[in-house]
Amino acid sequence: MDLKTPVLAESAPIKKSRLSSMHPSLLPYSAPPQRTLFSTGMLLSIPRKKIGALDDVRAATWLDAMKSSSPPPKPFSYDANSKYDSSDGDAAYRAWTLNYPSALTAFDQITHFAKGKRIALFLDYDGTLSPIVDNPDLAFMSDDMRSAVKDVAKLFPTAIISGRSRDKVYEFVGLTELYYAGSHGMDIMSPAKGSDGKEGALFQPASEFLPMIEEVYTSLVETTKEIEGATVEDNKIGGLLHVVSVM
């Protein structure tokens, strides 16, 4: 695959009832029995080096940092008669918001902390810049929102981070002056340089895994064809991560 080709995302829905019969290589990660991340057979063996790379990620406090800066899962009860008590989740969420207040309720506090600091703005796309809609292909942002993002990007470096493919987010937003991080940060592009709109610099930390991803993806497409109602869009890294995490 050409590294200039965007690394693509989107999830492929898979019926849970079908999961038990899926190839082990497509099931959620668990400690590898031997020296492989995925089991042998249909797909491929991953040498110890790759497992080491994942261990490095865990050991390097990235995951802890990401977890601590993300809101705690908030339990929801959909059943009015349920005995489930969500107060623990509410308390955890309230405690978390003390460290990570909403800009809407703590604007003065945030401007105070921001004094003398360089500021960058990181935005989500779905549900933040666009409304949540049933069809992900129709999650358009409004012209007003586009104009607001354009204005703020004149003041601060501004990035959009998404689980979607970088291409898809760019297609929706269309502003060349932003950073775009698609596929959960695996495919990052800096703002286009110059007035010709030439593509900005790319940072694709997973590029060394592309041959392996390509191979797994091909198998994924084949497997998904057998699953009722499932579709695989033109995606690679994000699609793979989504399917693994959905299961």
Ligand X SMILES: O=P(O)(O)OC[C@H]1O[C@H](O[C@H]2O[C@H](CO)[C@@H](O)[C@H](O)[C@H]2O)[C@H](O)[C@@H](O)[C@@H]1O
Active site (catalytic) residues: 124
Query: Smallest distance from the beta carbon of 159 to ligand X, in angstroms?
Result: 12
Query: Smallest distance from the beta carbon of 9 to ligand X, in angstroms?
Result: 6
Query: Smallest distance from the beta carbon of 240 to ligand X, in angstroms?
Result: 12
Alpha-carbon distances, residue 60 vs 54, 55, 57, 178, 245 (angstroms): 10, 8, 5, 28, 21
Helix (H) or strand (E) holding 203: strand 202-203
Give whichever of 37 and 129 is closer to ligand X, judged by the CB atom. 129
Give whichever of 46 and 164 is closer to ligand X, judged by the CB atom. 164
Cα–Cα distance measured from residue 150 to residue 133, given in angstroms and rounded to the nearest whole number: 23
Task: With beta carbons less than 8 A apart as the criterion, state whether 158 and 120 touch.
Answer: yes
Query: Smallest distance from the beta carbon of 10 to ligand X, in angstroms?
Result: 5
Handedness of CA 106, 109, 113, 114 (dihedral sign): positive
Give whichever of 163 and 200 is closer to ligand X, judged by the CB atom. 163
Cα–Cα distance measured from residue 170 to residue 110, given in angstroms and rounded to the nearest whole number: 29
Query: Smallest distance from the beta carbon of 193 to ligand X, in angstroms?
Result: 25
Residues of this chain that interact with ligand X (CB under 6 A) are 9-11, 124-126, 132-134, 136, 139, 162-164
What are the φ/ψ torsions at residue 173 (nearest 5 degrees)? -90, -50
Residue found under tokens 């699953």: 227
Give whichever of 46 and 160 is closer to ligand X, judged by the CB atom. 160
- Supply 157's token pair: 């470096």
Handedness of CA 195, 201, 204, 208 (dihedral sign): positive
- Supply 133's token pair: 């809609």
